């Protein structure tokens, strides 16, 4: 539960220190990592609960007589609010007919009300009963949920493979390309190039030579100086005594030929293919996923390229927004990307990646490791979190439609987490301002 608790009212001071009524409260439009606080001297923090929006506001005393609003990368409620806003920005670009638009609006079962549940483990509120698009590429609400669960499954696969005495290595495959290349063309060619290393007689011989039992392939892209850079990472599960360098040598001719055949040209021997050991595979897995990407990715120091989520963030909020870290802003300036450019690039990305699988398990691998059938992204996104949860409220049609019109998903969840008894007031306010009877 959020600090401050359900009993916290307006101007509630969490601990001793200057009274908020005496100090000016100022919004500092900057995102701070949690580590910003000096461990030796805890900051003087005041937590306020805004009863009208349900938002929890944290103010830190930055100098005597001044409290500034804090935003942190670990502020779960702020992060969630931004995700809903990023989703709304994407909908605006893609239009009402998209699957993304139906996500978190339409019900799975039209005869049932949506419910607000609170996880007994994490104390986080969530909606149950909404349709979910499950898009790992473009939905800022579904993607974290889907990739986080996939990640758990992949980590489990790695453990199961190791328990069977198998080796795990990380392969990264990139193709040469330059600015102006159509990312759709590059992506299609990249997939074709990969096929050369997984299908056919030569690929079969390669599998035998390196003892390849199976692979889990992840498709990704970044955007940098040379435009979009789609690439693969694959966790190779091997029954072999070979070193990563030896596996790379064996893999290289097929990858090179595949790229040439697919029309990508000859990849660089140095950068085109890399095979690394299990520790790098584990490291990659820790960082993989939208949760990391959306909460910490944009805070990365020495960023040279952008992720699609960075582009989406700039498209939604503009480069001057407090959630754009100084590191990200620097990269944007270097690449000459403003809000309009971010939007244009994001649309190209969204169209190119639509329908592509982010994660691909080679045939038979799941069975071999004793994992069940793979669920679709949509099924994963639609399912309630596995932990136990209690229903704190149901959302009737009028309330649901008012919430949608007001784009108030995150506000509703915040109130549910903080003090569900405040929900009737919030519904009343939303219905008065945004009510209506139009069915969605
Ligand atoms: Zn979605």
Query: Of 147, 264, 137, 244, which Cα lies nearest the Cα of 194?
Result: 264
Tell me what pLDDT residue 138 has: 94
- With a threshold of 0.75, does the pTM exceed it? yes
Going by their DSSP bridges, the two strands 125-128 and 227-238 should be labelled as unpaired
Tell me what pLDDT residue 312 has: 95
Q: Measured in angstroms, how far is the CA atom of residue 261 from the centroid of ligand 1?
A: 36
Beta carbons of 104 and 132 less than 8 angstroms apart: yes
Q: Measured in angstroms, how far is the CA atom of residue 87 from the centroid of ligand 1?
A: 8
Q: Measured in angstroms, how far is the CA atom of residue 133 from the centroid of ligand 1?
A: 4
Going by their DSSP bridges, the two strands 66-72 and 25-32 should be labelled as parallel
Q: Measured in angstroms, how far is the CA atom of residue 60 from the centroid of ligand 1?
A: 35
Burial class (CB in 10 A: 0-12, 13-18, 19+), 25: middle
Q: Measured in angstroms, how far is the CA atom of residue 272 from the centroid of ligand 1?
A: 34
Tell me what pLDDT residue 6 has: 34
Q: Measured in angstroms, how far is the CA atom of residue 132 from the centroid of ligand 1?
A: 5
Q: Measured in angstroms, how far is the CA atom of residue 300 from the centroid of ligand 1?
A: 26
Reported as type and span, the H/E element at residue 45 is: strand 45-49
Q: Measured in angstroms, how far is the CA atom of residue 102 from the centroid of ligand 1?
A: 8
Query: What confidence tens digit (pLDDT) does each residue in 401-427 have?
Result: 999 999 999 999 999 988 889 999 999
Q: Measured in angstroms, how far is the CA atom of residue 343 from the centroid of ligand 1?
A: 19
- Which strand ranges, in their side-by-side order, compose the sheet holding 389-395? 125-128, 114-119, 389-395
C-alpha distance from residue 304 to each of 121, 230, 343 (Å): 38, 15, 19
Q: Measured in angstroms, how far is the CA atom of residue 151 from the centroid of ligand 1?
A: 18
- Which strand ranges, in their side-by-side order, compose the sheet holding 66-72? 25-32, 66-72, 56-63, 45-49
Tell me what pLDDT residue 36 has: 42
Q: Measured in angstroms, how far is the CA atom of residue 347 from the centroid of ligand 1?
A: 17
Burial class (CB in 10 A: 0-12, 13-18, 19+), 116: buried
Tell me what pLDDT residue 304 has: 82
Tell me what pLDDT residue 72 has: 53
Q: Measured in angstroms, how far is the CA atom of residue 33 from the centroid of ligand 1?
A: 27
Q: Measured in angstroms, how far is the CA atom of residue 381 from the centroid of ligand 1?
A: 7
Chain centre to alpha carbon of residue 113: 28
Tell me what pLDDT residue 409 has: 94
Whole-number Å distance between alpha carbons of 109 and 106 = 9
Beta carbons of 61 and 23 less than 8 angstroms apart: yes
Q: Measured in angstroms, how far is the CA atom of residue 143 from the centroid of ligand 1?
A: 7
Tell me what pLDDT residue 7 has: 32
Q: Measured in angstroms, how far is the CA atom of residue 144 from the centroid of ligand 1?
A: 10
> Which ranges of the chain have pLDDT less than 50?
1-23, 29-31, 33-40, 52-54, 73, 297-298, 439-440
Tell me what pLDDT residue 69 has: 67
Q: Cite the beta strand spans of 299-408 per DSSP E.
A: 359-361, 389-395
Reported as type and span, the H/E element at residue 222 is: strand 212-224
Q: Measured in angstroms, how far is the CA atom of residue 409 from the centroid of ligand 1?
A: 13
Reported as type and span, the H/E element at residue 332 is: helix 326-335
Beta carbons of 188 and 290 less than 8 angstroms apart: no
Only one residue has tokens 């584990």, namely 282
Q: Measured in angstroms, how far is the CA atom of residue 58 from the centroid of ligand 1?
A: 29
What is the torsional sign of CA 135, 139, 145, 149?
Answer: positive
Q: Measured in angstroms, how far is the CA atom of residue 89 from the centroid of ligand 1?
A: 13
Tell me what pLDDT residue 18 has: 36
Query: What confidence tens digit (pLDDT) does each residue in 16-41 have?
Result: 333 344 445 555 544 454 444 444 45
Q: Measured in angstroms, how far is the CA atom of residue 311 from the centroid of ligand 1?
A: 18
Tell me what pLDDT residue 9 has: 34
Tell me what pLDDT residue 437 has: 54
Tell me what pLDDT residue 85 has: 94
Q: Measured in angstroms, how far is the CA atom of residue 270 from the centroid of ligand 1?
A: 38
Q: Measured in angstroms, how far is the CA atom of residue 250 from the centroid of ligand 1?
A: 41
Q: Measured in angstroms, how far is the CA atom of residue 145 from the centroid of ligand 1?
A: 9
Beta carbons of 32 and 38 less than 8 angstroms apart: no
């Amino acid at each position: 539960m959020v600090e401050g608790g359900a009993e916290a009212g307006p101007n509630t001071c969490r601990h001793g220190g200057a009274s908020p009524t005496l100090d000016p409260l100022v919004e500092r439009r900057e995102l701070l990592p949690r580590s910003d606080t000096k461990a030796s001297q805890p900051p003087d923090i005041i937590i306020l609960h805004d009863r009208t929006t349900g938002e929890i506001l944290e103010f830190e005393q930055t100098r005597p007589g001044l409290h500034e609003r804090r935003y942190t990368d670990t502020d779960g409620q702020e992060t969630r609010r931004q995700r809903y806003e990023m989703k709304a920005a994407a909908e605006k670009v893609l239009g009402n007919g998209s699957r993304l638009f139906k996500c978190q609006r339409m019900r799975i079962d039209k005869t049932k009300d949506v419910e607000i549940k609170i996880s007994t483990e994490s104390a986080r509120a969530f909606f149950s009963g909404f349709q979910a698009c499950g898009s790992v590429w473009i939905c800022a609400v579904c993607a974290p949920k889907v990739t986080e669960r996939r990640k758990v499954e992949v980590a489990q696969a790695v453990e199961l493979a190791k328990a069977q005495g198998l080796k795990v290595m990380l392969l990264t495959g990139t193709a040469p390309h330059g600015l102006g290349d159509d990312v759709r063309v590059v992506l299609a060619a990249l997939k074709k190039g990969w096929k050369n290393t997984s299908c056919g007689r030569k690929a079969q011989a390669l599998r035998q030579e390196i003892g390849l039992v199976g692979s889990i392939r992840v498709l990704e892209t970044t955007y940098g100086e040379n435009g979009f850079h789609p690439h693969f990472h694959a966790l190779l599960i091997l029954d072999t005594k070979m070193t990563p360098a030896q596996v790379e040598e064996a893999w290289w001719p097929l990858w090179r030929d595949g790229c040439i055949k697919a029309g990508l040209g000859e990849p660089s021997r140095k950068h085109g293919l890399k095979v690394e050991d299990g520790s790098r595979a584990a490291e990659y897995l820790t960082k993989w996923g939208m949760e990391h990407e959306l909460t910490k990715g944009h805070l990365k120091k020495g960023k040279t390229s952008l992720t699609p989520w960075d582009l989406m963030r700039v498209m939604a909020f503009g480069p001057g927004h407090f959630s754009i870290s100084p590191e990200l802003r620097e990269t944007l300036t270097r690449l000459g990307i403003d809000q309009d450019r971010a939007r244009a690039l994001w649309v190209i990305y969204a169209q190119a990646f639509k329908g592509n699988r982010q994660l691909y398990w080679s045939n038979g691998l799941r069975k071999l490791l004793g994992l069940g059938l793979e669920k679709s992204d949509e099924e994963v996104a639609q399912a309630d979190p596995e932990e136990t949860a209690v229903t704190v409220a149901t959302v009737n049609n009028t309330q649901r439609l008012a919430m949608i019109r007001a784009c108030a998903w995150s506000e509703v969840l915040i109130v549910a987490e903080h003090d569900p008894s405040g929900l009737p007031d919030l519904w009343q306010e939303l219905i008065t301002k945004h009510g209506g009877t139009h069915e969605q």
